[in-house]
A = this chain, B = another copy of it.
Amino acid sequence: MSANGSPGSAYAELERRFHRLSAINRAGAILNWDRSTMMPDGASSDRADQLATLNVVAHEILVAPEMPALLARAEEERAPLGVWQTANLREMRHVWTHANALPADLVEARTRATAACEMAWREAKKNANFKALLPTLEEVVKLTRRVGEAKADALGLPFYDALLDEYEPGGRSSRIDALFGELKAFLPALLQRVVERQKAAGAPLALDGPFPVEAQRQLGEAMIRAIGFDFDHGRLDVSAHPFTGGTAEDVRITTRYDEHDFARALMGVLHECGHALYELGLPRDWTRQPVGNARGMVLHESQSLLMEMQACRSRAFIDFAAPRMREAFGRSGPAWEAGNIHRLYTRVSPGFIRVDADEVTYPLHIMLRYRLERAILGGDLALADLPGAWNDGMRDLLGIVPPNDSLGCLQDIHWPDGAWGYFPTYTLGALAAAQLFAAARASVPALLEAIARGDFAPLLGWLRTNVHGKGSIADTDRILVEATGRPLGTAAFKAHLESRYLSA
């Protein structure tokens, strides 16, 4: 670690305290991973007790009565802090402000309400019964409003931005409105052209299974090893819901295998690998301090989408991967040619389910949710009217209407779970991914040719320098400006979609 500022300074004392906070959070991250991958079912209350205790211990560090004075003294100290220390102190203040914005009873009430709502949601989704969700979801919305108001006060931000700030520090709804407005202006028309074009070209040939899980696992492992995933600092395992967890020195990614469709697990593993490489590339001297954390959900999602969507659904990658797929499953023939596989992996089709969506329709799913969650929190949409508003929005944005609420407004866990303000980061991440990948291609000669040979080192090197190694030293826009020459925009994303889906 990097204790700096004079020993005995307020800053040095803050580093000590935030180091302890980090160790507790990292311990919790491994325990969370274990819960989803290894833990026997009967241990869930034991584990919940452990994690709740670690959360309390972590929270007590942040609400300790000495903290305001320590932060103020560190900010006033004339000790010669370097650029990382200065940024670290800013991040400490930010973490502290979020932790201290909410009274303890509100935190506890929200924890209880989201736990109850999540349970109700599982049943409601199974039975396509939105009414069964309504009472607990009303409570979550009510408490989310109180959280937003408290955070707005503490952060000096508009209400929705204060919620968003937890996932994307510095994120602003005014920017989202503008970016989503641009997307709305071209995406539906572009979607229609792509669908017509793909229809005219005829369907690609299907890859017929079954695909044994062990062969899938080995293929996925070989692929992420080629991309640069470091198995000396990470693992790949199975869980019901794929995720990236663990710590920057011990990244745990998960997937699930379907014997009839290997693409789903493979593309999922490549997606999580993008998240993992971000964590593995964080500034190693600072990963136990706030400034060494990933910047926010926008850049995190940009790294997974850059890897999955930009790099690994490219024709260059498929040229590298196709022979390895044939070998892994002992198959051959026209369906297994790179051209056909690439057509399969870039298929576009409006559907009801966000997590199954292709990259053209995905932002439309997000725009719907963003529109609705702002209306609900702002009091412009009664929760009871959500199913109708959802279906209207689907018709407007994607031209289809789900036959029931399980395929509609009940599909996502985010709202029951209290993650209001989270959804837009998915699409902001997609925009950032396109912008970063375009900049990498402009900066690194023959980037796609290297990928076609299975050589990811040039791409990974560029990402480490321009994104991963920056940690939280600056805000997302500044990192993007330095890496790509401009703040977050839609141009690169639009160019990417037109190039991939409408050219050649």
Q: Are A250 and B40 in contact (CB under 8 A)?
A: yes
Contact of A43 among B28, B53, B250 (CB under 8 A): B250
Contacts of A470 in B (CB 8 A): none
Q: Which residues of B contact A45 (CB under 8 A)?
A: 249
Residues from chain B with Cβ under 8 Å of A288 in the complex = 49
Are B53 and A20 in contact (CB-based, < 8 A)? yes
Stretch touching chain B among A226-234, A266-274, A360-368: A226-234
With A and B bound together, what is the CA distance between A232 and B53 in angstroms? 23
Contact A54 B27, beta carbon cutoff 8 Å: yes
Known interface pairs A24-B53, A31-B30, A34-B34; A43-B230 also in contact (CB < 8 Å): no
- Binary flags per residue of A240-251, CB closer than 8 Å to B gives 1, else 0: 000000011110
Question: A375 at interface (Cβ–Cβ under 8 A)?
Answer: no
The residues of B that contact A146 with a CB separation of less than 8 Å are none
| A52 (CB) vs chain B CBs: closest residue | B23
Chain B residues whose CB sits within 8 angstroms of the CB of A52 once the complex forms: 23
Please determine whether B249 and A42 come into contact, CB atoms closer than 8 angstroms: yes
Query: Are B40 and A26 touching (Cβ within 8 A)?
Result: no
A302-352, CB < 8 A from B: none
Taking the complex as formed, is A206 at the interface, i.e. its CB lies under 8 A from any CB of chain B? no
Interface string of A125-168 (1 = CB under 8 A from B): 00000000000000000000000000000000000000000000
Residue of B with least CB distance to A25:
B50
Q: How far is the CA of A39 from the CA of B233 in the complex (A)?
A: 8
CA distance A52 to B50 in the complex (A): 17
Tell me which residues from 41 to 68 in chain A have a Cβ below 8 Å from any Cβ of chain B. Answer: 41-43, 45-47, 49-54, 56-57
Least distance between A6 CB and chain B CB atoms (Å): 24
- Cβ 8 A contact of A57, one of B24, B28, B50: B24
Contact B23 A27 (CB under 8 A): no
A442 contacts B by Cβ under 8 Å: no
Decide if A94 is an interface residue (CB 8 Å cutoff): no
Cα distance A232–B45 in the bound complex, in angstroms: 12
Q: Most chain-B CB neighbours within 10 Å: which of A26, A27, A45, A57?
A: A27
A38 at the interface (CB under 8 A from B): yes
A235 within 8 A of B: yes
Among A39, A54, A248, A250, the most chain B Cβ lie within 10 Å of the Cβ of A250
CA distance A232 to B56 in the complex (A): 28
Nearest chain B CB to A38's CB is how many angstroms away?
A: 7
Partner of A40, one of B27, B231, B248: B231
| Contact between B31 and A247, CB atoms less than 8 A apart | no
CB distance from A59 to the nearest CB of B (A): 13
Contact in complex: A50, B38 (CB < 8 Å): no
| CA distance in complex: A310, B234 (Å) | 42
Q: Does A233 contact B40, Cβ atoms closer than 8 Å?
A: yes
Q: Which residues of B contact A34 (CB under 8 A)?
A: 30, 34
A235 contacts B27, C-beta separation under 8 Å: no
Report how far A39 CA is from B38 CA in the complex, Å: 13
Given the interface pairs A30-B34, A57-B57, the reply to whether A232 lies near B40 with Cβ below 8 Å is yes
A234 to B43, CA, bound (A): 8
Interchain CB contact under 8 A, A46 and B232 = no
Chain B residues, Cβ within 8 Å of A250: 39-40, 42-43, 46-47
Min distance, Cβ A424 to any Cβ of chain B, angstroms: 32
Nearest-neighbour CB distance to chain B for A36, whole angstroms, equals 13
Given A31-B31, A40-B234, 10 other A-B residues pairs in contact with their CB atoms under 8 A:
A20-B56, A23-B50, A23-B54, A24-B53, A24-B57, A27-B28, A27-B53, A42-B233, A42-B249, A46-B249
23 pairs, CB–CB < 8 Å, chain A vs chain B: A20-B53, A23-B49, A23-B52, A23-B53, A26-B49, A26-B50, A27-B31, A27-B50, A27-B53, A27-B54, A31-B31, A34-B34, A38-B235, A39-B250, A40-B232, A42-B230, A42-B250, A45-B249, A46-B247, A46-B248, A46-B250, A47-B250, A49-B288
Binding site for B on A (CB under 8 A): 20, 23-24, 26-28, 30-31, 34, 38-43, 45-47, 49-54, 56-57, 230-235, 247-250, 288
The 7 A-B pairs at the shortest CB distance, nearest first, are namely A43-B250, A23-B53, A42-B232, A46-B249, A42-B233, A27-B50, A23-B50
